[in-house]
């Protein structure tokens, strides 16, 4: 069956072009996983794509976006689950969910199963590990072993703490990719993209200053939070009056709003 992609984020599909920076990571996943998912007949034998991909690095750097873009660019169905949400389930419920997830993914192949916070589940054995999480972990490992045999399913694990994964889990994610914090020039690209969403009067010099000097160590998610806060600046300044004016009369976002927003974040 021809399956339409279901990768929708705020009603808009995520493509590699929507991800600022991360050129090396995008190039690698394109060749390594997108093409094999798209054309399994070409990628056989030694060229066969991996069944598991681990994305690791600081929070908010675009791991989930990459997962969605892989699915979109490969014409695959995207499934996503946060590992920590499974462990709160009753005994037996979590593992059933894992089994169902992979069964549906195989049925809707090609599929991408995105497993967020994978360290919380596939962690080295802890003394306080309970029966429920042990069973979910075992089921995960079984399902990860089965991917590729029942259909074209790529499991993508995401973690901020790769060192906490146990060996059994690491073996399942043959390909591992580091997703770093954005470089200053990537922050500028992202800032400019975000600023397109609202009226602003920041000069090129001010945009460069924010992205190069003021946001060292910021992730993409931090930058988005900064822009969201700055964008609320003009409304905050108007106070209750904002509710009475026409949308086009809202003053533009300015450097002052960014200065206030930055103060709140540091």
Binding stretches for ligand ATP (CB under 6 A): 19-22, 59-65, 116, 158, 160, 182, 190, 220-221, 224
Place of tokens 């190069």: 212
Nearer to ligand ATP, 80 or 254 (CB): 80
- Crossing angle of the two packed helices 131-146 and 93-107, in degrees rounded to 10: 20
Give me the DSSP letters along 154-211.
EEEEEES-GGGB-HHHHHH--EEEE-PPPPHHHHHHHHHHHHTTS-B---HHHHHHII
Place of tokens 């993409």: 220
Q: Which residues contact 266 (CB under 8 A, 6 or more apart)?
A: none
- CB-based contact 178:56 (threshold 8 Å): yes
Q: Which residues contact 27 (CB under 8 A, 6 or more apart)?
A: none
In the complex, the smallest distance separating the C-beta of residue 105 from ligand ATP, rounded to whole angstroms, is 19
Distance CA 153, CA 221 (A): 28
Nearer to ligand ATP, 221 or 235 (CB): 221
In the complex, the smallest distance separating the C-beta of residue 203 from ligand ATP, rounded to whole angstroms, is 23
Q: Which of 22, 3, 118 is nearest to 72 (CA)?
A: 3
In the complex, the smallest distance separating the C-beta of residue 160 from ligand ATP, rounded to whole angstroms, is 5
Q: Which helix (H) or strand (E) segment is 79 a member of?
A: strand 77-82
Nearer to ligand ATP, 65 or 132 (CB): 65
Minimal CB distance residue for ligand ATP: 220
Nearer to ligand ATP, 94 or 220 (CB): 220
- CB-based contact 99:143 (threshold 8 Å): yes
In the complex, the smallest distance separating the C-beta of residue 72 from ligand ATP, rounded to whole angstroms, is 14
- CB-based contact 15:118 (threshold 8 Å): no
Nearer to ligand ATP, 193 or 237 (CB): 193
- CB-based contact 137:84 (threshold 8 Å): no
Nearer to ligand ATP, 118 or 132 (CB): 118
In the complex, the smallest distance separating the C-beta of residue 230 from ligand ATP, rounded to whole angstroms, is 15
Nearer to ligand ATP, 65 or 177 (CB): 65
In the complex, the smallest distance separating the C-beta of residue 40 from ligand ATP, rounded to whole angstroms, is 27
In the complex, the smallest distance separating the C-beta of residue 76 from ligand ATP, rounded to whole angstroms, is 17
């Amino acid at each position: 069956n021809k399956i339409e992609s279901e990768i929708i984020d705020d009603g808009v599909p995520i493509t590699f072009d929507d991800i600022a920076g991360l050129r090396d990571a995008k190039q690698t996943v394109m060749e390594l996983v997108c093409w094999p998912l798209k054309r399994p007949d070409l990628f056989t034998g030694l060229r066969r794509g991996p069944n598991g991909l681990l994305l690791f690095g600081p929070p908010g750097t675009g791991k989930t976006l990459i997962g969605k873009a892989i699915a979109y660019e490969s014409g695959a169905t995207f499934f996503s689950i946060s590992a920590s949400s499974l462990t709160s389930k009753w005994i037996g419920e979590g593992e059933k969910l894992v089994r169902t997830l992979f069964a549906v993914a195989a049925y809707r192949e090609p599929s991408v199963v995105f497993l967020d916070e994978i360290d919380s589940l596939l962690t080295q054995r802890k003394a306080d590990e309970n029966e429920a999480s042990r069973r979910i972990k075992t089921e995960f490992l079984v399902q990860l072993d089965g991917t590729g045999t029942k259909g074209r399913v790529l499991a993508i694990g995401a973690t901020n703490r790769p060192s906490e994964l146990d060996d059994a889990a690491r073996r399942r994610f043959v390909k591992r990719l580091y997703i770093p914090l954005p470089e200053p020039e990537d922050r500028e690209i992202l800032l400019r993209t975000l600023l397109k969403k609202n009226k602003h009067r920041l000069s090129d010099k001010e945009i460069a200053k924010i992205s190069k000097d003021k946001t060292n160590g910021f992730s993409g998610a931090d930058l988005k939070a900064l822009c969201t806060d700055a964008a609320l600046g003009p409304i905050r300044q108007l106070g209750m009056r904002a509710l009475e004016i026409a949308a086009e009369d809202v003053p533009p976002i300015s450097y002052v709003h960014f200065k206030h927003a930055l103060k709140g974040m540091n």
